[in-house]
């Protein structure tokens, strides 16, 4: 009984930790899915821009000792601005139907942004401020990290805010209209480019929060994180369903939880293999993801 109970606590704690950490994946996934939903294009720069925003926030911490909340806010604003630049550089002037060019441009921008960060920081890991960093709430034998609870709360608040903008504002109406039929939206007098640019800024703001939350959860910021976070974001987007915000939320938590379970049972060398297998299973058997609209194979 003792062993069973111990194992039960371990496994539930493992899943719980993963779910909490998965909140950061959800935020990244939402950004990917938001842009895909609006433009039907993948913005591969998204995670790099999110982390670059976190670096700008970190600069405020380093140079003027700004408090953590201000750092998070600056991260979000900076990432929103970078999102706008990425839109102009990689999407605005590329013909709408040339998906490959936009994709390649955004991959190029990903590495460009990453190298700027590397050259500015020499690639050194830097301490990132966190809220409730060493707070651990204990519930019986389980422990809940205070900083991850904060991350989850911020993620939920950001998502609610985003959903409000999308479904209760004129901007959201315009975004959804462009997403559904951009020619019709144009005929209705909607400025498609401005709407897309605003979507990039919105996604960027959310990405900045995600970047800052990821850095805060680790306590250290490093350019090493960029590519893995990009991959996680894409996995979450596909599993959740391209274009589905609720899907990105659920998939982020799912990937975070399962990642920890795979790690616990199979070790780190096999962990990512199973996560990628999960992606493969979804692509083959449920290509529209958990919540995405059905895709006709033919």
Q: Which residues here bind other proteins, judged by CB under 8 A?
A: 10, 13-14, 17-18, 21, 115, 118-119, 122-127, 133-134, 136, 143, 145, 214, 217-220, 222-225, 227-229, 256, 259-260, 263-264, 266-269, 272
CB of 264 to other proteins, least distance (A): 5
Cα–Cα distance for residue pair 116/98, rounded to 1 Å = 27
**CB of 115 vs other proteins, minimal distance in Å:** 6
Longest dimension (CA), the chain: 69
Nearer to other proteins (CB atom), residue 23 or residue 239: 23
Burial class for 107, CB neighbours closer than 10 Å (0-12, 13-18, 19+): middle
| Closer CB to other proteins, 69 or 136, in the complex | 136
Whichever of 11 and 77 has its CB closer to other proteins, that residue is 11
Nearest distance in Å: CB 189, other proteins? 45
Scanning 219-267, the segments in alpha helix (DSSP H) are 226-240, 245-266
Shortest spacing between CB 24 and other proteins, in angstroms: 8
Task: Write down the least CB distance from residue 72 to other proteins, Å.
Answer: 17
Least distance from C-beta 241 to other proteins, angstroms? 24
* 200, 88 contact by CB (below 8 A): no
Give CA–CA dist 221/297, Å, rounded.
Answer: 41
Would you say 41 or 145 has its CB closer to other proteins? 145
Instruction: CB nearer to other proteins: give 42 or 255.
Output: 255
What tokens does 213 get?
A: 């939350």
Report the SS3 class of residue 267.
coil
Q: Tell me the angle at which helices 99-121 and 68-87 cross, rounded to the nearest 10 degrees.
A: 140
Q: Facing residues of 143 across strands? A: 138
Is the Cβ of residue 202 or residue 263 nearer to other proteins in the bound state?
263
Helices (H), the chain: 2-39, 46-64, 68-87, 99-121, 146-168, 170-180, 182-187, 192-218, 226-240, 245-266, 268-285
């Amino acid at each position: 009984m003792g062993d069973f109970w111990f194992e039960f606590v371990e496994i539930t704690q493992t899943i719980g930790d993963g779910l909490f950490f998965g909140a950061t994946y959800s935020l990244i996934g939402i950004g990917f899915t938001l842009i895909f939903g609006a433009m039907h294009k993948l913005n591969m720069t998204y995670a790099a821009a999110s982390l670059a925003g976190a670096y700008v926030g970190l600069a405020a911490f380093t140079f003027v000792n700004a408090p953590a909340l201000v750092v998070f806010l600056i991260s979000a604003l900076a990432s929103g601005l970078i999102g706008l630049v990425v839109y102009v550089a990689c999407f605005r002037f590329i013909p709408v139907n040339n998906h490959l060019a936009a994709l390649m441009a955004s991959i190029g921008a990903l590495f460009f942004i990453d190298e700027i960060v590397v050259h500015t920081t020499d690639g050194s890991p830097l301490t990132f401020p966190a809220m409730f960093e060493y707070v651990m709430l204990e519930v019986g034998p389980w422990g809940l990290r205070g900083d991850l609870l904060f991350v989850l709360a911020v993620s939920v608040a950001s998502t609610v805010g985003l959903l409000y903008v999308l479904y209760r504002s004129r901007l959201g109406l315009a975004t959804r209209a462009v997403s559904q039929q951009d020619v019709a939206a144009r005929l209705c007098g909607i400025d498609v480019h401005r709407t897309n640019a605003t979507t990039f800024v919105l996604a960027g703001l959310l990405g900045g929060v995600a970047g800052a939350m990821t850095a805060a959860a680790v306590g250290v910021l490093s350019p090493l994180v960029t590519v893995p976070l990009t991959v996680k974001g894409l996995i979450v987007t596909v599993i959740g369903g391209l274009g589905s915000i609720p899907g990105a939320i659920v998939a982020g938590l799912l990937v975070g939880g399962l990642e920890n379970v795979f790690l616990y049972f199979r070790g780190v060398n096999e962990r990512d293999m199973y996560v990628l297998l999960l992606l493969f299973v979804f692509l083959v058997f449920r290509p529209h993801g958990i919540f995405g609209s059905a895709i006709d194979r033919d």
